Amino acid sequence: MSKAILYFEGVVTQSDLDVLGFWCWHEGCPDYGKKGSGNIILKERYGRNNIALLLCKTCGHCFSENRGTPFFDLNTSMEEVLRTIALLPEKGSIRGLARATGHDKNTICRWLDLVGNHCREVTDYYLNDLNMDRVQVDEIWSYIKKREEYQR
């Protein structure tokens, strides 16, 4: 893991952020889309969630560590959004989830929309040109569940 080095007013500090996993988002940059090039550095942290603002040394463009994720430009922490969304199957309804978490139902709906769109984009990217005759994934889950019950 490569630690991010932050230069601010002559003071050098380090962060636990692994900058090798990031790449420049500026399409005109020669390092666009290249992970681990050594061109990304931590410029600063901002907001109440302490989000990293990263800088491409090649082209000089800045971008958030959340860019390209459903958490980009949200005021709520990533942990809180994930915890709330994970409770949806447990509570069974958006109103019940809103009462249990204290978040507004419209906020929860917006989060679900963001996460759902992101999941669709990831699925469309990775699951294409599949030449299959039949797929029945629920059989795998049934087998795992039966094995767990059998071992008890």
* Domain definitions of the chain by residue range: 3-64, 78-126
pLDDT band at 20; cut points 50, 70, 90: confident
Please enumerate in sequence order all residues whose Cβ is within 8 A of that of 96, keeping only pairs 6 or more positions apart, or say none: none
Task: For residue 82, give both structure tokens.
Answer: 């994930």
pLDDT mean over 33-37:
85
Look-up of token digits 């952020």 = 17
> Is this prediction's pTM over 0.75?
no
CA distances from 77 to 33, 58, 71, 84, 100 (A): 26, 30, 8, 11, 17
pLDDT at 57 over 50: yes
Chain centroid to CA 83: how far? 13
Question: For residue range 63-114, what is the model confidence (pLDDT) as tens digits?
Answer: 988 888 888 888 888 889 989 988 888 888 899 999 999 999 999 999 999 9
